[in-house]
Structure 1
């Protein structure tokens, strides 16, 4: 018998004039675990006079549509922009200029006012709609969400969580930059009264030029987290981008910590003990799942090379196994982020059928972006997820 799903509620506005959201394999936002997890939204909207969906317009026009969508979704959940605690801005290459950064900052202030969420700026190779320039993913929670300002960054508490936005740091090489990034994160954790033992999830964005040296970051993780077995580390996702948002940066790392005890979840398949991430980590009711791809841990091979639909099914079926090991099921998943390799872009929309086959409504909130590649060049899709368990 499948596990009883945790309480969750899709946020469904009475009117959402940009599109018929019921046609898609994700919900606009999911409320669960004391927070509202919004899907990533672009300026995509249906134009009936042309019978097309488009995301066109300049950066300001697109960003305003995104914020208006977010306003409608938040208000449907009894929330507002003052409740937003975490924002991830995914930016296409044409939106990465200094004037673009100033424009986005101005719009952020216009819509969010004095509220300063933990802000991660992520340069992507492209968004799923080629004409889209910006996609914004938000997490909100009712009431005061305390800020922690340290090491030149603003982190935010979301209930038991502390979200440290994607950090970068200067340095001559990847090893030096990684050490400096973890140094900054350590300062922020200490300012919040937390330590490395409280970190439950990290997300790495790696400049393509640093891919060859990426393994050096494992030593930095061992030094900070002190684990001798993979289950003692946080969950983690690592994604390769053509470039990062800050010129000269080779690595960005976003950290999520929790005041709840961290407990690694053992995967129902071989997981090399020397890896520096756990397959999943539970903290209170929240489960953070490391990035999953169509890598067969028993054979060391990539499954379904060249077929993003089959790789998607492989990933989500394994996620179901991992959720069962954690005491839940796919019905407990509230949010996914799908990182798509460029070669999979054309067929990627067909993976929606996999989600509708394996998930029941309401489908999880979801964000999807195009990266440069994944750790293995024949992997076409990587999915990380958040679940809420009973």
Structure 2
């Protein structure tokens, strides 16, 4: 069985052929959507437009992704994880989007990830929604609490989805009373988020030893001290012999005033296998370029880095950076006997200063990737951990079924 692009019988918001991403991918009774905002094509002006209140935008964005799921024969009750990218402009109105989500999903509660982003590609967009789904909705490993748990942004279950993937809600450094922990202490907040993630995983019968990715979002002021997280990661992660993939993105602010970090953790039921095509730089790091768990290849964030010299490449050219970034991803895939057709998802973070030239990335994707095209999401950030980087990509791939 292979990945195939989802093509709903009707998708009135825009003509979706001709892009270097698909609306969503399906394999059997499993589906992954790209991230979608409320944007639609206005034939009167020949452009994509987006507008309206947070509630209106949330309804449209969810209608789009649920229409895509329906094209794969799935519905709201099959969703295992929701990712909501909410902008700084939309954050004060976020409860309106949450109310729409609760209305649409009713008693079925997927795991919820909420990523605060500086903005989306379309400036007026307040919210972007991405779904993972499997027939039956996967398995709830830990129910959502009546009140928000310590260390999480919203009440959310821990849920197992496709291929043993175990999703946690976004972890933030806020205690059960709503107070930010370790004020002003980035490393202390980072530790708290990972420790609380371990609490949730242990309640689901796993631990941080089973983590396959830890994607963190911090603020520009943390860049100078970010390296100090190495000791925390070395202590808390990699206990089974394999560090997870990782990525770090800088946003102007996060969910709460005084919050310096948020971390999204994914774990797996399967044994973990390190995937490294021979890049020695990872020998001393607390993250892996790739982790195989079951049929899924989870990867770290990639940017335009020379893997031998550690030099940041093409500092002022996002197109050339995209070429180097996707080249490294494809090199890792080739090492595993895979190619671009096995790419399941890509999440691109573009630095706001490079947004005027972001179109150059699509040309690179068109040249290096191929149909059915990965499910893709893009957001705009304040910066990346290396100030020379303009683009970072979080990729995931799927191995073909054996036999």
TM-score normalised by L of structure 1 = 0.94
Residues 8 and 30, structure 1, Cα contact 8 Å, conserved in 2: yes
SS at match of 1:22: coil
- CA 1:34–1:326 in structure 2 vs 1: closer, same or farther (change >3 Å)? farther
Instruction: Establish whether residue 167 from structure 1 lines up as the match of residue 171 from structure 2.
Output: yes
Structure 2 residue aligned with 1:367: 377
Matched, 1:190 2:190: no
In 2, Cα distance between equivalents of 1:204 and 1:198: 17
- Post-superposition Cα deviations, 1:208-252, rounded to whole Å, max 9, x if no partner, equal 222222222221111112569xx8201111111111122321111
Alignment correspondent of 1:116: 109
Please show how residues 1-390 of structure 1 align to structure 2 within 5 Å. Answer: 7-32=2-27, 35-97=30-92, 100-147=93-140, 148-149=142-143, 151-152=149-150, 153-159=156-162, 160-169=164-173, 170-172=181-183, 173-226=185-238, 232-390=242-400
Instruction: Tell me the secondary structure at the aligned position of residue 284 of structure 2.
Output: coil
The CA distance in 1 between the partners of 2:28 and 2:255, in whole Å, is: 31
Give me the whole-angstrom Cα distance separating, in 1, the residues matched to 2:123 and 2:353.
Answer: 14
| In structure 2, C-alpha distance between the alignment counterparts of 1:226 and 1:317, rounded to whole Å | 27
RCO comparison, higher one (Cα < 8 Å, 6+): 1
Taking structure 1 as reference, are residues 324 and 268 closer, same or farther at Cα in structure 2, changes over 3 Å only? farther
**What is the SS of the residue equivalent to 1:85?**
strand
CA distance in 1, matches of 2:27, 2:234: 32
Tell me how far apart the structure 2 counterparts of residues 52 and 232 of structure 1 sit (CA, whole Å).
Answer: 47
Pairwise CA distance, 1:197: 2.1
Please state how far the C-alpha of 1:145 moved relative to its aligned partner.
Answer: 2.1
Q: 1: distance between equivalents of 2:28 and 2:197?
A: 25
Superposed CA offset, 1:337-361 (max 9, x none): 0000112101112311111111221
CA shift at 1:110, angstroms? 1.3
Q: Which runs of 4+ in 1 moved over 6 A?
A: none
Residues 159-197 of structure 1 show CA distances to partners (whole Å, capped at 9, x for unaligned) of 411101210122221122122112211111111111222
The 3 A distance-change label for structure 1 pair 226 and 81 is: closer
Number of paired residues? 381
> Is the 1:118–1:156 contact (alpha carbons within 8 Å) kept by the matching residues of 2?
yes
Q: Distance between the aligned counterparts of 2:267 and 2:362, measured in 1?
A: 31
Cα separation, 1, equivalents of 2:27 and 2:378: 21
Q: CA deviation at 1:75?
A: 0.6
| Distance in structure 1 (CA, Å) of the matches to 2:42 and 2:299 | 37
Please say if residues 268 and 325 of structure 1, whose CA atoms lie closer than 8 Å, have aligned partners that are also in contact.
no
The residue number in structure 1 matching 2:176 is none
Q: CA RMSD in A?
A: 1.7
C-alpha contact 1:32 1:334 (8 A) present in aligned 2 = no
CA deviation after TM superposition for structure 1 residue 268, in Å:
3.7
Structure 2 unmatched ranges of 5 or more: 151-155, 174-180
